[in-house]
Amino acid sequence: MISIVIPVYNKADYIADCIESLLQQDFEAFEVVAVDDGSTDDSGPLCDRAAEADRRVRVIHTANAGVTAARRRGVEAARGEYIVFVDADDRLMPGALRTLHDAATAHDADEVIGTFCTHDDTRSPVVHEGLQTDTDSMIRDIVTGKNRFPVLWAVIFRKTILDGCLDTPREIIEGEDLLMQTQVLMKQPRVWFVGNCVYRYTLGVPNTRRHTLSREQLYDTLLRETLKPRWALFCTAFTLHQLKHCERFIAEGQPEVRQQYYDQAIGALPSGIPLFHRVAWHLPTGLSQYAIRLYKALIRIKQHNL
């Protein structure tokens, strides 16, 4: 059985369509666990109406505690052997559950990762297929922001592999999915990739996320603790993660954070840091701001053309 967990917070414009896409799946053994995370709009009543109309839907109403807590509460209540996470403003593609479940059971996988498309039909690339034996490379890609595979959407997890991976504090409102997948991969699970597009992601939904130094420091602490058991393997990737976030602050016009945190936190650069990031680190912040913005623009152009 599959449990589909939906964290719901003020998504009244989307949640009905989301749930409907789940109920239309051509797979019998599943349930929908919608966790209303203290919504102040009509999201909660809409979920309740869906549950009244179809017994496969269950609704949990909680005080607002953040998206990770909502996912954790949904997993705790889940009856399925497998978990699929869906955001309230997204949808599953037709046949998604069968595709993911069949691959998981056929290959005894702890997680199966597919691909997704956006609401304007842009499809994510197929970067792996079949068994991925090198989960360490996946961790490095996630930590350094190079992953081109989904980490939370378009994924089915064996429920037991998620134990201890949904404890990120609510202060972390960006990158919590990356941290969760890193924690899963540190357990060295059996990961299987399929090329099927199984998830539809809605771009452009407004959010109130703001890049702050205090949040980034907390994230670094949690990420370092996650990587600690095999630190020698991932310390360079962690430094590159810090460099990229320092560059982001500088590009956003907050160069003071380098002196406030990153100079001491990073120190001397280890070998293995790519040339651009090494050069940007050694430039005065006034010059590095322009170099970083140009570099990011070129990366966006390259990704658009892929």
What pLDDT is stored for residue 212 in this prediction?
A: 93
What pLDDT is stored for residue 208 in this prediction?
A: 58
Rounded distance between C-alpha atoms, residue 200 and residue 116, angstroms: 6
Query: Model confidence over 7-52: pLDDT tens digits?
Result: 999 999 999 999 999 999 999 899 999 999 999 999 999 999 999 9
What pLDDT is stored for residue 204 in this prediction?
A: 65
Looking up tokens 């990229």, which residue turns up?
Answer: 244
Which DSSP state fits 258?
I
Residue 65 phi/psi, 5° resolution? Answer: -135, 5
Q: Say if CB 218 and CB 175 are below 8 A apart.
A: no
Q: Say if CB 77 and CB 183 are below 8 A apart.
A: no
Radius of gyration of the chain (CA): 20
What pLDDT is stored for residue 33 in this prediction?
A: 98
Continuous segment of H or E residues that includes residue 116: strand 111-118
Walk along the chain (306 residues) and give the pLDDT tens digit of each residue: 999 999 999 999 999 999 999 999 999 899 999 999 999 999 999 999 999 999 999 999 999 999 999 999 999 999 999 999 999 999 999 999 999 999 999 999 999 999 999 988 888 889 899 999 899 999 999 999 999 999 999 999 999 999 999 999 999 999 999 999 999 999 999 999 999 999 999 886 555 567 899 999 999 999 999 999 999 999 999 999 999 999 999 999 999 999 999 999 999 999 999 999 999 999 988 888 888 988 888 877 766 665
Rounded distance between C-alpha atoms, residue 280 and residue 274, angstroms: 10
Give the bridge partners for 112, in sequence order: 156, 192
Residues ≥6 apart with Cβ < 8 Å to 163: none
Give the predicted TM-score (pTM) of the model: 0.93
Query: Model confidence over 61-75: pLDDT tens digits?
Result: 999 999 999 999 999
Rounded distance between C-alpha atoms, residue 215 and residue 173, angstroms: 9
What pLDDT is stored for residue 302 in this prediction?
A: 67
Give the bridge partners for 57, in sequence order: 32
2-201 to CATH, choices 3.90.550.10, 3.30.1340.10, 3.30.70.20, 3.40.50.10300: 3.90.550.10
Alpha helices in the chain (DSSP H): 15-23, 43-53, 67-77, 96-106, 135-143, 176-185, 213-227, 231-251, 256-257, 263-266, 275-282, 285-305
Rounded distance between C-alpha atoms, residue 190 and residue 187, angstroms: 9
What pLDDT is stored for residue 74 in this prediction?
A: 98
What pLDDT is stored for residue 278 in this prediction?
A: 95
Q: What share of the chain is helix, strand, coil (3-state, %, to 5)?
A: 45, 20, 35
What pLDDT is stored for residue 298 in this prediction?
A: 81
What pLDDT is stored for residue 237 in this prediction?
A: 98
What pLDDT is stored for residue 300 in this prediction?
A: 75
Domain ranges for the chain: 2-201, 213-305
Q: Say if CB 296 and CB 251 are below 8 A apart.
A: yes
10-16-17-23 Cα dihedral, nearest 10 degrees: 130
Give the bridge partners for 37, in sequence order: 62
